[in-house]
Amino acid sequence: MAHTFEELVEMQRTADEAHAQVLKLRDSYGPPAQAEWTEQQTETYETAWRAWRDLARDVQAAITEHAKEEGVPRYDIEAKLRKATRHPGDEGA
């Protein structure tokens, strides 16, 4: 499925939000090696981690496909995407 650059931006933002949730849970529960997590905490963390992993995988595949379709190096798309998601409003700069 072809993706526009704007769709890539939204996909990356969603993956970034999922990653932030994983970090928030880890900070809240404590590092797994140093804390005893309850079964519910472990399940919640693992579910969040899998969601982030799947979203990140999907955005990486979409970046590869988009780069091929545009005939540009994948790195160029990744750099443009980083700029768009980390510094919104600067896309044209």
Rounded to whole angstroms, how far apart are CA atoms 28 and 40?
13
pLDDT at 30: 85
**What is the residue extent of each domain of the chain?**
5-86
Q: pLDDT tens across 14-46, in order? A: 999 999 999 999 999 987 766 688 989 999 999
Whole-Å CA distances, 23 to 5, 16, 72, 78, 83? 27, 11, 33, 23, 22
Task: Note the pTM of the prediction, 2 decimals.
Answer: 0.84
Q: pLDDT tens across 59-90, in order? A: 999 999 999 999 999 999 999 999 999 866 65
pLDDT(57) > 50: yes
Residues in the chain: 93
